[in-house]
Amino acid sequence: MATKVRKHAKDAPEVDGKVIQVIVGEEKAVFYVHQNLLLKSSTFFRNAINGPWKEGEEGIVRLPAHTPKSFKIYT
């Protein structure tokens, strides 16, 4: 599957609005990411945040099986 590369700033998601706290890895590294960025870039985050899950209600997503290094793409 080819990676989509944005060529214009107009293609970037809006970064206003709610900020989601993402807790990553066993060390529980905390990242704060604009919700719109997560929703636009990931089906997982769209489902977790918009679905009937506690992540959407709390605004906190926990990813204990991932490493902070792998999540730095959002920072």
Each residue of 30-67: b (16+ CB within 10 Å) or e?
ebebbbbbbbeeeeebeebbeeeeebbeeeebbbeeee
Distance CA 31, CA 10 (A): 25
pLDDT of residue 71: 86
pLDDT tens-digit profile of 16-66?
Answer: 678 999 999 999 999 999 998 899 889 999 999 998 989 989 999 999 999
Distance CA 70, CA 58 (A): 23
Is 73's pLDDT higher than 90? no
- Tell me the torsion sign for CA atoms 30, 35, 38, 39: positive
